[in-house]
Structures are given as C-alpha cells and as structure tokens.
Amino acid sequence: MKPDSSEIRWVDEPPLTPAERSYLPLFIEGLTTTLRHLVSPKITVQFPEERHEFPDPIIYRGVHRLNRDEQGRVKCVACFLCATACPAHCIDIVAAPSPWPDREKYPVVFNIDMLRCIFCGMCEEACPVDAIELTSLYDLSGKSREEMIFDKEKLLSVYDQTKDLEPPRWMRERDVVEDQKTDSASGEN
Amino acid sequence: MVGLIVETCVKIALALGVLMTGAAYLVLVERWIAAWVQDRIGPNRVGIPLTNIRLFGLGQPIADGLKLIFKEEYVPGHVDRVIYNLGPILTFVAAVAVYAVVPLGQVDLGIAGWRPIDLTIVPGFDAALVYLFAANGAAVYGVIAGGWASRNKYSLFGALRAAAQLIAYEIPLSLTLLVVALYAGSLRLDQMVLQQAQTGVWNIVLHPLTFVVFFVAVTAEAARLPFDLPETEQELVGGFHTEYSGMRLMTYLVSEFLHMVTAAVLIVLLFLGGWHFWGLTGSEPVAGIGGALLRIVVFAVKVLLVIWFFMMMRWSWPRFRFDQLMRLAWKVLIPWGMVPLVILVWWYSGGEEALGMGGGRGLAVLAAINWAALIAVWIVTARLSPPSYDNRPRQDLVQLARESEQAIPARVRPTAKVWRPSFDNEE
C-alpha cells in the first residue's frame, strides 16, 4: 500500500495543551515514574533458592508425563494422534499388540525429544485417553542430547512424581462427577 | 625536573586507576539502577571467586571484564584493518586525555620545603577549557574511523549520525562555554571553580539558562539516552561498533562510559561549584591534607549525583527521533545559547553601571535577569514550536498530487510500478 493510498485513513494527533508544549509536565512525569519504580518492591524470583509459585499448576505447559490408569499400567493406547499433532515431530512411538484385553495396542517405546519439543501442548489436546499431559515442572536440564530424550519409563516416573500435586484429567473429572453425586445425594436427604 | 616527572607519573597512575575502576563499577551501578527502575533486583550474585560470598554482586565488573578479555576477538575479513584497529584507540585516548586538566584544588602536605601540590595532572594550563573540549570532540574521530573501516551499512550510519550529532551539539556547547569563560574572566578550570567557591554562588544559580543548554548539549555529546542515536539497537544493530568484539568493543564501551563521566565532571566543575560546598571545604585555593581529601569527597559525591541523574534519565524519557534531535540542536539550543551570552556581554559593557549595581547586589540582579530569560525563552519556544510535531506528508499536497495525476490522460499516465518481492538469490 502506497503512503498516498486513498484507503489509508489519516487520523490527526490531538493538539497539545500549552503545558504539554513546554515539555515540562512530560519531563516530570517520566522522572517521577522512574523514581517511583526505583524504590518500589521488586518482583524478581531468586530462582534456585526461591521458586516460582503457580496460581494453577494444571494449566502450565512444562515437562510431559505419561499417565497411569488405576492398575498402574500405562494409559496410552499407541494411537499416534499425539505424534501426528506434534508440530516439532518430537514424539517417537513404537506400538505393539496389547497384552491386556481392554485395548488393542500399547506403546513399547515412547520417546519425547525434549530438545525439539516446543511445549505447545498439542499432544495433550490430541490425546483421546488423556494419557499424555504437560506438568508444571520447568527446570529441565541435562548434560547431553541423549539424556534429553525422555523414554517411557522416565515419562511414567514424571507421572509418579507429579500425580499428587497435579492429578490427571480423568481423575479430576471423576472427582467432579462424584462431588456432584454427593451434592445431589445430600440435597435429596 | 625529575620531581615534576615523578609527580606527574604518580598523578597519571592514580587518575587512570581511579577512572578505570570507577568506570567498571559505574557499569555495575548502571545495571543496578536499570534493574531497580524495571522492578528487578539486578546483578547480585558474583562475589569473591571460588567462594559463596556474594558481596551484593560487587565481583560483577571483574567477571564482565574477564569475559570480554577472553572472548574471541573476531575481525571480519572485509574491514580496513589499520583504521579498524585505530578507531577504539582514538576514542579511548580522547576520553582519557580530558582528565589531564580536571582541577581538584591544591594540597599543602605540611612538609617544610615542599610547595603545595596541585591535584591536577597538568596544573596551571591556561587554555584548559579549549583543550578539554578539543579532546572531548576528538572522540568522534574514533567513532567515524570505526564506522567507516567496518564497511558495514549500519556501522556507517551510526558513525554518520554520531558525526552529525556531535557537530550540531558542539555549537550550543561552545556558546555556553563562552558565557562561563566570560564570567570567570579565564579559560582556566581551576579559576572557574575558585570563583564559584569565593563568591559562594554556583554558576547554576547565576546562569540557569546556560546550565540548561549545557546540560542537554553535553548529554548529546556523550551520546547518552535520550540522545543515543549513533547506536540505536532497534535501527542500527549496534551502530558504529556493530563489527567489533572482545577487547576492542570493551575499549569503545569504556570510552563511551568515560564520556558520560566527563560530562558529569564538566557539569560539576562549571556549574555546581567543583570541590566547593558552603561551610565545609573553605574557599582558599590551597588546603591541608584533611581539607583536600574532603574536597575530593565533595567533588566525587557531586559527580556521582549527576551520573545518577544521567542513569535515571535513560529510563525516564523516550529517545528522540533523528530529525527531532537535529531540530532541538539547530532551532532550539543554539538560539537559547545566544541569549545568556548577549545578556552577559551587555552586563559587562555598561549594563551593570546603567543599573547602578556593584558587588553582591549586582550578582543578584544578574541572576534575576538570567532566570527571567530562562522562563521567557522557554515560554516563547513552547509557543512558537511544539516539541512534538507531525512529520507525515502534508495531506493538502498529497491531495493535490493525486488530483494532478488524475488530470493526465490515462494513455500517457505513467503506470505505477507494482513492487513484488523477488527471490533472485534463492535458487
């Protein structure tokens, strides 16, 4: 679009008041703002000693975990939807026929390359059985690239580590349903 | 003679040591203030190496310096080697050379047979002020050399801006210096400080308009925000030091910082009474050891306060556009700078007698005239030219152009070339 295009609507700046034209009020305003912030309380979190506190850890997108079901088995059914949805192609799944009667397949290998992952949470949204979820763990580090490829065991251990603080979605929804049941039951009584 | 050489060498060593350490720690202070203004804490971790003692981050400058020294010093293949290497050196020499004439008074050690020692590296230099501004202005050669030799568009733009800016602001600066020199009747800095100490009236009270012009001009000379056009990151990557790294970059950055310190020193010397403070330091040229130390402390405190203001200024006001910068220099500061000069010349060439003034009362009247001039000039400027203005194409002219284009018959009207992105360099 050229600068003289008729599609451009030109808006005039509001006229300056005499005080503004002298530049002094703006000058003082800028200085008082910086002076106020100079002495105001600081918001820095001194990381290794202090840790950031999440208002809601459930909605944070940090390290992934693979959820377990009630019997402690991996919940994943190896449907590859997460790997398909992943824009960074960081999920690598090898499926095998399931030894359990309630599903056809299960993952033998489930690797996530944390160095490729962009923590967008699309895998979590794609998952039909709420098996993969993003936790609020964010201090992720390693000494080699191999170390940063998280395998199935590691992802399951992340679940064991975080399940108490951040219950998986199916558990949360079940609790909500049960709460409603008890509520309606108490209402009847 | 040998004594003089030894004395000068000691003074140079002291001054360089204080300046380098001071600049390093001022960088830390700058980072602290930047952090505090942005509600952060700032560098507070680096303390004594190999221990967990933090000392509020006082080890940071050493770590920064070591980092820059050990960094790879990459020289791009396309640069002009000689000038490229010369650039930082020129700037640094110019920045340091200024401190040869900064007066801190004289000290009498009380040892029989010793004359009072002048706390200036080059004592009694008659053209100190001229030398000082020559040296200060010479710094731009290093900047231009660096920008030119880098053979990079951004570097060259930065250097050109630096040159234009420094030349523009050199003029109001010189005008204000004329006022100060005329008032002191001397070009010697120690004389100017002594005059302020002996009358007890600092030049800021007596020459407020001069002070305002000087302050703005000297900030622009030091290329501090809001006048840091030569190295605006958003437009010019790094400006003239885009292609520099390692020690050369550090030399540039340190000299830039020293420029700010120089600006603060000049403001204190010329307008804030130098080492003088009422009822604390006395006003004789020579002081004893205690008095001299006290004077150095007073001077340092004043300089630090001005530097603190420079650092606050950095975050308080947005950067000027380049046309606004030039406009401020040529259309505002130069006329402003002439007003106090005219007043002072009138005062000395008959105005003082015409008003029947003499002695202390005369100074009060001169100060009143200057304050009135400041207010009047400010109001007139605000009335005549608002500080912000619309720089878009004038809509009446655009409309006229559009109409005249329509008036040309379509078959002879040149068709506007439609710009399309080209991907020639992609195979």
Residue B24 pLDDT exceeds 80: yes
Q: CA-nearest residue of chain B to A33? A: B316
Residue A87 pLDDT exceeds 90: yes
The β-bridge partners of B40 are none
Can you read off the two tokens belonging to residue B33? 């203030």
Q: CA-nearest residue of chain A to B38? A: A37
Residues of A in contact with B387 (CB under 8 A): 21, 23
CA distance A110 to chain B (A): 39
- Distant-in-sequence, close-in-space partners of B84: CB < 8 Å, separation ≥ 6: B75, B145, B146, B149, B150, B243
Q: How confident is the model at residue B285 (pLDDT cuts 50, 70, 90)?
A: low
Residues of chain B contacting A, Cβ within 8 Å? 33, 36-41, 312-313, 315-317, 378-379, 381-383, 386-388, 390, 392-393, 395, 398, 401-402, 416
Percent share of chain B, pLDDT over 70: 86
Pairwise CB contact (< 8 Å): A40 & B39: yes
Residue A3 pLDDT exceeds 80: no
pLDDT, tens digit (0-9, with 9 covering 90-100), for B294-340: 888 888 899 899 999 998 888 888 888 888 888 888 888 899 989 99
Residues of B in contact with A30 (CB under 8 A): 316-317
| Overall size of chain B counted in residues | 427
- The average pLDDT across B19-44 equals 87
Do the Cβ atoms of B241 and B154 come closer than 8 Å? Answer: no
Q: How far apart are CA A19 and CA B383, in angstroms?
A: 10
Helix (H/G/I), strand (E/B), else coil: A121:
coil
| Closest listed residue to residue B178, CA positions, set B334, B12, B74 | B334
Helix (H/G/I), strand (E/B), else coil: B76:
coil
pLDDT, tens digit (0-9, with 9 covering 90-100), for B381-426: 888 865 555 666 677 777 888 788 777 776 666 665 555 555 555 4
Do the Cβ atoms of A138 and A45 come closer than 8 Å? Answer: no
- The average pLDDT across A91-104 equals 89
More confident residue, B367 or B386: B367
What's the pLDDT score for residue B427?
A: 44
Residue B240 pLDDT exceeds 60: yes
Q: Where are the domains of chain B?
A: 1-70, 74-384
What's the pLDDT score for residue B361?
A: 67
DSSP state of B391: -
Of A21, A24, A38, the CB nearest to B386: A21
Q: List domains and CATH numbers for chain A.
A: 57-178 (3.30.70.3270)
- The average pLDDT across B276-293 equals 73
What's the pLDDT score for residue A94?
A: 92
Residues of A in contact with B33 (CB under 8 A): 38
Residues of B in contact with A35 (CB under 8 A): 312
CA distance B330 to chain A (A): 18
What's the pLDDT score for residue B131?
A: 85
Helix (H/G/I), strand (E/B), else coil: A22:
coil
Find which of B33, B37, B379 to mutate to test the A interface (most A CBs within 10 Å of its CB): B37
Q: How far apart are CA B65 and CA B62, in angstroms?
A: 5
pLDDT, tens digit (0-9, with 9 covering 90-100), for B99-135: 887 776 666 666 666 666 766 777 777 787 888 888 8
Residues of B in contact with A10 (CB under 8 A): 392, 395
Percent share of chain B, pLDDT over 90: 3
Pairwise CB contact (< 8 Å): A46 & B386: no
Pairwise CB contact (< 8 Å): A42 & B39: yes
Residues of A in contact with B384 (CB under 8 A): none
Of A6, A12, A31, the CB nearest to B316: A31
Residues of A in contact with B36 (CB under 8 A): 37-39, 42
| Closest listed residue to residue B142, CA positions, set B127, B129, B152, B155 | B155
What's the pLDDT score for residue B247?
A: 84
A-B C-beta contacts closer than 8 Å: 62
pLDDT, tens digit (0-9, with 9 covering 90-100), for A129-143: 888 999 888 888 889
Residue B356 pLDDT exceeds 70: no
CA pseudo-torsion sign A19, A24, A27, A33 = negative
What's the pLDDT score for residue A118?
A: 92
What's the pLDDT score for residue B290?
A: 74
Complex ipTM value: 0.71
Q: Is A67 left (phi over 0), alpha (psi -120 to 50) or beta?
A: beta
CA distance A1 to chain B (A): 10
| The residue to which tokens 């720089």 are assigned | B391
Q: Which of A98-107, A113-122, B316-325, B407-416 has the lowest mean pLDDT?
A: B407-416
| The residue to which tokens 């660096």 are assigned | B146
Of B317, B378, B402, the CB nearest to A4: B402
Pairwise CB contact (< 8 Å): A16 & B393: no
More confident residue, B288 or A62: A62
Residue A170 pLDDT exceeds 80: no
> Roughly what angle, to the nearest 10 degrees, separates helices B153-184 and B128-149?
180
Residues of chain A contacting B, Cβ within 8 Å? 2-4, 6, 10, 12-13, 16, 18, 20-24, 26-27, 30-31, 33-35, 37-44, 46
Pairwise CB contact (< 8 Å): B382 & A22: yes
Residue B399 neighbours by CB distance under 10 Å: 12
Of B39, B41, B383, the CB nearest to A37: B39
B117's enclosing H/E stretch is: strand B117-118
Pairwise CB contact (< 8 Å): A38 & B395: no
CA A2 to chain CA centroid, Å, is 42
CA pseudo-torsion sign A38, A39, A45, A49 = positive
Residues of A in contact with B37 (CB under 8 A): 34, 37-38
Of B33, B317, B395, the CB nearest to A30: B317
| Closest listed residue to residue A138, CA positions, set A64, A72, A77, A27 | A64
